[in-house]
Amino acid sequence: MKNITKKREYANYNVAMKILLSYKEKYLFLVDSSGRKYDLPGGRIDNVEHNVPLEKILEREVKEELGKNLKYKLGNPIFQFRRYITKKDTYVFITVYTAEYLSGDVRLSEEHCEFKWVAKKKLDIKNNLFWSREEYDAFKKYFR
């Protein structure tokens, strides 16, 4: 007799991309609008962007969150994590890329209330500053 296992449903995730922006050995961290959690510039792929190159989508999101005049050089993916957005009852799969700051002023959107450039040595990696244990672990591993 064969052991038949019932196939489970696939998880549904939104997909997002963010950048870890560096400048002179410091990293740009945003603080969400609640003032409680760290975040990075970037965001989700919109439903009309199926044929838009990923780099262009990420560029759109960064401009929305940091202003149109900020320039950076995009690097490679460095880590990934999942985040649950309670108010939208949505799971998001996030890929983080390196990026090198080139020029321009940071002008925050309403999605964030603060930004800070933080040296690796002074980066405060505490679990309560991140959205989940998985996100915290990804940052902790990258910055160790």
Domain-embedded: residue 66: yes
**Range(s) of the domain holding residue 109:** 14-143
pLDDT at res. 43: 97
CATH number of the domain at 136, please: 3.90.79.10
pLDDT at res. 123: 85
Domain-embedded: residue 4: no
The mean per-residue pLDDT over the stretch 17-42 comes to 96
| Count of structural domains within the chain | 1
The mean per-residue pLDDT over the stretch 25-38 comes to 94
Task: Give the residue carrying structure tokens 């910055």.
Answer: 143
Domain-embedded: residue 3: no
